[in-house]
């Protein structure tokens, strides 16, 4: 199988390469970049020296559409939307890691992203790639809108409760914390080491563009639309997301029932690990495709606290993208992804 990565120089791109190298069905792995075509990949990322000898190629939509089986697009907003107009008729299946095809309603996209939405005819063709909950559609998809890092952590944590309709989403609060690779590879004041080290930051309160992505999926599960409260924070660590989520539960919800709901939801999914007798830490999934979920029902307040932990670059980006590729191509779901977290 021939695989292409468009926008291969970002942190999502390098993680795709790391994981795809381990994938037994990938025979060729090519990297593309508009801005750095002609550059040896190991000149940008010296840690790949002697392991990956790719040279960045310039992006040619027609060539991509014809020559590859699967194309991952890991580029800034808008790139995939434009490229997809050509790729849609090619043979290649496409997995887009940006937000271009995630929001069904173009006007909501434009409100939150502050830029024109992709053509609705393309958005309609995209399948939202939350692997554990959209498996059947993913298997048949031509185009995957790979979920955002925060939505992945949040939705995997909430899905069992939302699908069983045992929480009141009008009371839902999501307090999310991320390592700084989520902010990308470009140096900025916010992620300058001296400014970020030994410090905790909050940002984009009520304004993060992953908010409508979470709302849209919850609405599909629950049937009613509720605005949620979502707050992202930046933690002085490289990788990892923890989402701490709060909601009022139905009066009838017992601890036994919650346990059963989560067990039923995830007993057959290899990458979701439930454990409510312990408190999770982001390091426990470092470098891996796992999601660790813990939940705590509080009788004093009638609320449930759900904690969901992922590696933002793996399950929150490259790993889930490959998991989706596995589903689309009929491979073992864990192929290339069944590595143990790197600990400590």
Binding residues for a copy of itself restricted to 10-69, rule: CB under 8 A? 11, 14, 17-18, 21-22, 45-52
Residue placing its CB nearer to a copy of itself in the complex, 101 or 295: 295
Residue placing its CB nearer to a copy of itself in the complex, 2 or 233: 233
Judged by phi (left if over 0) then psi (alpha if -120 to 50, else beta), residue 182 lies in: alpha
Catalytic residue among 70, 130, 149, 314: 149
149 is catalytic: yes
| Angle made by CA atoms 75, 59, 67, in degrees to the nearest 5 | 110
Distance (Å, whole) CA 133 – CA 239: 24
Integer angstrom CA distances of residue 333 from 25, 31, 321: 12, 24, 11
- By CB under 8 A, is residue 223 in contact with a copy of itself? no
Give the number of residues in contact with a copy of itself, rule: CB under 8 A.
Answer: 86
- By CB under 8 A, is residue 227 in contact with a copy of itself? yes
Least distance from a copy of itself to the Cβ atom of residue 311, Å:
10
Residue placing its CB nearer to a copy of itself in the complex, 22 or 58: 22
Candidates 105, 137, 205, 225: give the one binding a copy of itself (CB under 8 A): 205
Cis preceding-peptide flag for 121 (omega within 30 of 0): no
End-to-end alpha carbon distance in the chain: 34
At how many degrees (to 10) do helices 149-163 and 210-222 cross?
20
- Three-state DSSP class for residue 135: helix
Binding string to a copy of itself for residues 252 to 291, with x set by CB under 8 A, is what?
Answer: ------------------x--x-x--xxxxxxxxxx--x-
- By CB under 8 A, is residue 80 in contact with a copy of itself? no
- By CB under 8 A, is residue 218 in contact with a copy of itself? no
**Region 147-176 residues binding a copy of itself, contact defined as CB under 8 A:** 171, 173, 175
Distance (Å, whole) CA 344 – CA 342: 6
Residue placing its CB nearer to a copy of itself in the complex, 82 or 175: 175
| Angle made by CA atoms 189, 191, 194, in degrees to the nearest 5 | 80
Tell me which residues are annotated as active site: 149
């Amino acid at each position: 199988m021939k695989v292409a990565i468009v926008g291969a120089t970002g942190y999502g791109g390098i993680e795709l390469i790391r994981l795809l190298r381990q994938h037994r069905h990938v025979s060729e792995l090519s990297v593309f970049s508009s801005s750095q075509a002609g550059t040896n990949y190991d000149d940008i990322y010296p840690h790949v020296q002697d392991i990956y000898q790719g040279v960045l190629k310039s992006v040619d939509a027609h060539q991509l559409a014809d020559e590859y089986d699967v194309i991952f697009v890991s580029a800034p907003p808008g790139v995939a939307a434009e490229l997809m107009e050509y790729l849609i008729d090619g043979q290649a299946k496409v997995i887009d890691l940006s937000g271009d095809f995630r929001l069904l309603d173009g006007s909501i996209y434009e409100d939150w992203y502050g830029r024109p939405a992709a053509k609705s005819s393309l958005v309609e063709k995209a399948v939202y790639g939350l692997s554990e909950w959209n498996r059947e559609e993913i298997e048949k998809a031509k185009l995957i809108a790979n979920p955002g890092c925060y939505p992945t952590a949040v939705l995997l944590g909430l899905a069992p409760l939302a699908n069983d309709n045992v929480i009141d989403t009008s009371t839902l609060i999501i307090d999310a914390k991320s390592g700084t690779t989520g902010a990308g590879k470009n140096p900025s004041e916010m992620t300058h080491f001296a400014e970020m080290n030994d410090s905790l930051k909050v940002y984009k309160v009520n304004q993060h563009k992953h908010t409508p992505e979470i709302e849209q999926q919850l609405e599909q599960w629950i049937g009613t639309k509720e605005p949620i409260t979502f707050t992202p924070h930046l933690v002085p660590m490289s990788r990892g997301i923890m989402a701490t989520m709060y909601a009022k539960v139905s009066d009838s919800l017992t601890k036994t029932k919650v346990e059963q709901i989560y067990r039923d939801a995830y007993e057959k999914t290899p990458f979701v690990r439930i454990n409510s007798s312990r408190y999770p830490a982001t390091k426990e999934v470092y470098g891996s495709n796992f999601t660790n979920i813990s939940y705590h029902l509080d009788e004093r307040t009638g609320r449930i606290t759900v904690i969901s932990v992922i590696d933002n670059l793996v399950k929150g980006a490259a790993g889930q993208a490959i998991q989706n590729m596995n589903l689309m191509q009929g491979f073992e779901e864990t192929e290339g992804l069944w590595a143990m977290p790197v600990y400590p």
